[in-house]
Structure 1
């Protein structure tokens, strides 16, 4: 077995997968075997080429490692990125995404070839190359690599066509490029060259006795061998042939820019292999984090919304309704499970006092855009619903063509900013009174009645004309917010809405949402400061 340990001193790994644009902010994780072998070859050219480690020894090493698809032991990482404007001469600066996976500094990543052995010379060369390797992927991915004499750990990423009996976690499938073996590359190269008409096809032997019916086999005569002339390759053909060197090591060394300029949609010396890795491996854990152990079910589950552009906080009710539709569709159509009444809101008992699910948008960084979605069930989230959120839902889209990634963040009794604690709560979206106004039953009376029905202390109520939204705290009035649900035929006593400041006699723990549409993001409150 060959075991290689790599650590990243900066705590970051940058690598854009083949065929993806850097501004897609995707990261190749784990590092593909194709990328790793190219890193070894590049290190040999820079630091190890010479009489002590000749080129034919490098060929032997690469050929040996290419014979087997390696497996991985991956650390816990999280997908992240930074954005900056890249100056371009004569043009406006261009927004560039720098994506990476982030991990604890010096946390080891191990690559293992379980059935491969090397002779002493190849082992010495491998040790030298690992010692000289300074980065893997982009130049920002500083790396320290070494070969391990002994390794004992758990494998959590492996080719999908192999078995991993020790895996006790859910997985997801990803494509990675792995180098072809030496024989497979030679065969593929010959086939590709023949398809271009740059080499004569091998002669097809005619079995003896299968010549024409009236044709007799003639005695062999000494004649000059007939040579089939190959057309002289053009400049374009020469460029094509330069991307298909005779040996595997040189083929892996071809620059990706040269490959793409010829028109290759994939590296010709590599093949796409499906690997299995832990489900949501870029979300910081091999399993969704649950912030409680045993006991009652969590009341609040929090999901991160990833995409560009993110929806504005003014569209809170639309996102709340979209999350409800997505969860019900996932449980009913994809999981074939019965949707509990506390999730659907249907067939609830008459004594129900808002104990069913709230679908609440959240602006965690206060930039005016919705970056998290919360499922809040006061009686506890049903197990099947929590499973659907954490394991089965990874995208959210609307009928307007908008689409975002949905990343399960955490679940518990009070995660996120909406579940803060404090005596004073401010409107984050318009409050719409749920009953028609009557004499002696106006706005404040309805708020007090709703608090009593929910078992909350009665607050002092202050009506505000505007609230500040976003980092600049731009003033927004209720009319700037969407205040109507998509469901038609609803009895909506209040169509205008207002903003409130509620001061309770004692600290209150959220989430807190009141009024019409409060289960979908209207009437949402956040603690002051």
Structure 2
């Protein structure tokens, strides 16, 4: 019996299966016997150059027998790199297997017996091994006498398959085994070979959950967490005009993640609906607020704000988000988690405190302005058109004050002609004003901007009107004439 224990010191195994392109995003798992023997050949040439070739060939032929493996729990990851080239950089995907560095891989030859000299040579070679696969797969490899039961075996043709089948490249024993293992890719192409001389493809039965992702519920104390902040990254970033589309996508993604992590369960806090599908009306559920905080016209942050607070499972789901995928061949939007906190601890723009606030996304009317049959507007005693733009702002704010009596009185609502960015103005009408789903198309679809002044300073975020839980109707604190925010 011969057994190797392989500990991946960085918790990663980087290797592309023979015959596959690196950009296919396929990881070799288990490590192929062909790769393991080629590693031994490289170590022999480096550390024992030309010593006892007959003994080494005998060792290789014995290890060419098909081994079994113990594969610890693992998952897959990937990164993207631009490789230098003479004319332009070339994008390469690096896909790798992620393993807990405390959980080794074991390769077992249960029926192989080595002589004392072969065992010593193998031990000496492994003592100098520093990686397996590509150079970044740092590894500590050693001979062991104890190992867990294998869970990955060569599959016998016609036998029932226990797990999933995976093709693995192995070595044919024979007198030319050393020469065959020294074939390089250039020689293979020169000889027009699909596979290296002396190699063979073998089907292995790998556990069907070899790359299963397991989630652990984290134990937390009682501190309230109601804000999760992300920075956005992508080429290009989403436009400020598409705020509502990104907010809706964030909601869908958070709900999907919660379902995957909780056996298909739903969260009324993340969805904004109760278990019967009825919308919640108290505005205590999640707001998904994409923001352009440097005012260049491109969204650069996403804030998930939940006034009533997030449970542990809801927080786990939201913080697990790493990408928003709109589909339909549109570019993904990456999410970089900045942190979680209580809104009282934040000073980011949506959470500022001021007496004067200005629109950064349009206030979209949720009701139709009222007119007489003659076409003449209907007015209230205060001179505002009933359900006109200004009237609806006051109505929205008074509804919020009814839910939270500590909010200050709104004393002034002044129209803003356009959204003011660093270098240009954007018409409110140019923003996307409806969600893909919901009943937005039943609203007037009229968009306005306003400057709001309150009796006392008020803390954000302030979002009003249709789509306010998706980034529409969002206000930012406004500077005073001296350039400082209102205190």
Q: Residue deviations 1:24-67, cap 9 Å, x none? A: 66665775555444323332233334234x25535534643752
Structure 1, unpaired ranges of 5+: 163-172, 187-244, 281-285
SS for the counterpart of 1:317 is: helix
Look up the SS of the partner of 1:269 in the other structure. Answer: strand
CA distance 1:265–1:123, shift in 2 (3 Å): closer
Aligned to 2:212: 279
Instruction: Report the CA distance between 1:516 and its aligned residue.
Output: 1.7
- Are the aligned partners of 1:465 and 1:498 in contact in 2 as well (CA < 8 Å)? yes
Alignment of 1:319 with 2:320, yes or no, is: no
Helix, strand or coil at the partner of 1:113: strand
| Contact in 1 for aligned 2:3/2:143 (Cα 8 Å) | yes
Residues 397/270 of structure 1: CA separation in 2 closer, same or farther (3 Å cut): same
Matched, 1:133 2:61: no
- Which deviations, in whole Å up to 9, do the C-alpha atoms of 1:448-485 show, x marking residues without a partner? 436425537349999695465xxxx7756245542222
The corresponding residue for 1:159 is 152
Deviation for aligned residue 1:408: 11
Q: Secondary structure at the match of 2:89?
A: strand
TM norm structure 1: 0.57
Residues 401-421 of structure 1: CA deviation (Å, up to 9, x unaligned): 447599997997669x99969
Specify the alignment match of 2:466 in structure 1. 516
- 1:496 paired residue number: 447
List alignment gaps of at least 5 residues for structure 2.
Answer: 156-162, 370-378, 385-389, 479-484
1:484–1:495: 8 Å Cα contact kept in structure 2? no
Q: Is the 8 A contact 2:233 2:300 kept in 1?
A: yes
Distance 2:398 2:291 in 1: 26
Could you tell me whether the CA contact under 8 Å between 1:57 and 1:121 is conserved in 2? no
Between the aligned partners of 1:36 and 1:364, the Cα distance in structure 2 is 52
* Correspondence 1:449 to 2:380: no
> What is the SS of the residue equivalent to 2:63?
helix
Among 273, 277, 283, the alignment partner of 1:354 is: 283
Measured against aligned partners, the alpha-carbon deviations of 1:159-208 in whole angstroms (never above 9, x if no partner) come to 3999xxxxxxxxxx99865343x6xx57xxxxxxxxxxxxxxxxxxxxxx
Equivalent positions of 1:255-404 (< 5 A) are: 255-256=184-185, 262=192, 264=194, 269-271=200-202, 273=204, 274-275=206-207, 276-277=209-210, 279-280=212-213, 287=215, 290=218, 293=220, 311-312=238-239, 314-322=241-249, 324=251, 343=271, 345=273, 352-361=281-290, 378-379=307-308, 398=326, 400-402=328-330, 404=332
1:486 equivalent to 2:485? Answer no
Q: TM-score, normalised by structure 2?
A: 0.61
What is the match of residue 118 of structure 2?
122
Q: State the secondary structure of the residue aligned to 2:39.
A: helix
Pairwise CA distance, 1:430: 1.2
> In structure 2, do the counterparts of structure 1 residues 78 and 112 end up closer, same or farther at CA, with 3 Å as the change threshold?
closer
Structure-2 residue corresponding to 1:47: 47
Per the alignment, do residues 39 and 329 of structure 1 end up closer, same or farther by CA in structure 2, a change over 3 Å counting? same
Residue 482 of structure 2 aligns with which residue? none
Which residue number in structure 2 is paired with residue 211 of structure 1? Answer: none
Selected match of 1:178 from 168, 177, 186: 168
Q: Distance in 2 between matches of 1:494 and 1:401?
A: 28
| 1:254 matched to 2:183 | yes
**Paired position in structure 2 for 1:230:** none
